[in-house]
Amino acid sequence: MLFKNRTEAGKKLAELLSDYSSEDVIVYALPRGGVILGAEIAKALHAPLDLIITKKIGHPSNPEYAVCALAEDGAPICNQSELEMLGHQWLEEEKHKAREEIQRRREEYVGNTTQKDIKGKTAIIVDDGIATGLTMIASIEEMKLHEPKEIVVAIPIVPYLTSLKLEGMVDKVVYVEATRDFLGAVGAYYEDFTQVDDDEVKRILKEVNK
């Protein structure tokens, strides 16, 4: 499966989620890329759009290789075998920096706006794809703290084994394709995978929630 761009991927997911249009739903996007997909789903379901802000913690010798991920309030989700070699002090310092960055992004994107109350409602968590799954798992654990009635994960492309893992953690996983031969990077499944900047995130949130 090759998507033209994130907008097309969001529209395809929205079609698969049409049964939720009559329910009390809040769509939670992972910024930045997930916000474009989340907007398409929120508009199709006539639902509000909110954020779950996460941050990966990269390996000190290769920052692009995530050894942990954490969201705003939940515990970090980590590759334990990697942590054994990196040490507790290093992780504590990186967690502190990551939470500071998460807070900066929330203030940047939504200012003083309080998060929407999801208790007793359906939360749909959206991203533009999944590779290791650490970020999505951190988002799921974060969402569980807020006691939704149901948690649905929506992603256009996901490795098959990761989809099985996620299905054991939430009420439903919705995807366009679960592949057994993952190409190694989410961007490989998009013709246009242009980076989304902070200004676009703020514009989309304002447009969908006006």
CA atoms within 13 A on the CB side of 103: 7
- Domain range spanning residue 41? 6-53+111-208
Q: Could you give the angle at the alpha carbon of 208 between the alpha carbons of 127 and 198, nearest 5°?
A: 60
CA of residue 100 relative to chain centroid, distance: 18
CATH code: domain of residue 162: 3.40.50.2020
Q: In the structure encoding, which two tokens stand for residue 57, read together?
A: 């913690």
- The pLDDT of residue 131: 82
CA of residue 63 relative to chain centroid, distance: 19
| CA-wise closest residue to 209 among 21, 42, 58 | 42
What is d(CA 210, CA 203) in angstroms, rounded to the nearest whole number? 11
Same domain, 42 and 135: yes
Structural domain ending residue among the three candidates 90, 109, 128:
109
- The pLDDT of residue 79: 84
The answer to whether position 24 is within a domain reads yes
- The pLDDT of residue 82: 75
Domain count, the chain: 2
Q: pTM of the full predicted structure?
A: 0.93
- For 59-114, the pLDDT digits (tens) are 888 877 788 999 988 888 998 877 777 878 888 999 999 999 999 999 999 987 87
- The pLDDT of residue 69: 93
Q: What is the 3-state secondary structure (H, E, C) of the chain?
A: CCECCHHHHHHHHHHHCHHHHHCCEEEEECCCCHHHHHHHHHHHHCCCEEECCCEEEEECCEEEEEEEEECCCCCCEECHHHHHHHCHHHHHHHHHHHHHHHHHHHHHHHCCCCCCCCECCEEEEECCCCCCCHHHHHHHHHHHCCCECEEEEEEEEEEHHHHHHHHCCCCEEEEEEEECCCCCCHHHHECCCCCCCHHHHHHHHHHHCC
What is d(CA 76, CA 67) in angstroms, rounded to the nearest whole number? 10
What is d(CA 102, CA 107) in angstroms, rounded to the nearest whole number? 9
Same domain, 190 and 99: no
Query: Does the pLDDT of residue 210 top 80, yes or no?
Result: yes
The answer to whether position 1 is within a domain reads no
The answer to whether position 64 is within a domain reads yes
Same domain, 190 and 122: yes
Res. 128 pLDDT band, cuts 50 70 90: very high
Same domain, 117 and 192: yes
Q: For tokens 């084994």, name the residue.
A: 161
Same domain, 103 and 130: no
- The pLDDT of residue 36: 98
- The pLDDT of residue 74: 82
Same domain, 82 and 164: no
The answer to whether position 136 is within a domain reads yes
Structural domain ending residue among the three candidates 87, 109, 131:
109
Share above pLDDT 90 across residues of the chain, in percent, rounded to a whole number: 77
The answer to whether position 87 is within a domain reads yes
The answer to whether position 75 is within a domain reads yes
Same domain, 98 and 196: no
- The pLDDT of residue 203: 96
Share above pLDDT 70 across residues of the chain, in percent, rounded to a whole number: 100
Same domain, 144 and 72: no
The answer to whether position 23 is within a domain reads yes
Res. 126 pLDDT band, cuts 50 70 90: very high
- For 6-54, the pLDDT digits (tens) are 999 999 999 999 999 988 999 999 999 999 999 999 999 999 999 999 9
Query: Does the pLDDT of residue 154 top 80, yes or no?
Result: yes
The answer to whether position 170 is within a domain reads yes
CATH code: domain of residue 85: 3.30.1310
- The pLDDT of residue 145: 94
What is d(CA 6, CA 80) in angstroms, rounded to the nearest whole number? 32
Same domain, 24 and 49: yes
Same domain, 88 and 191: no
Same domain, 120 and 82: no
Res. 155 pLDDT band, cuts 50 70 90: very high
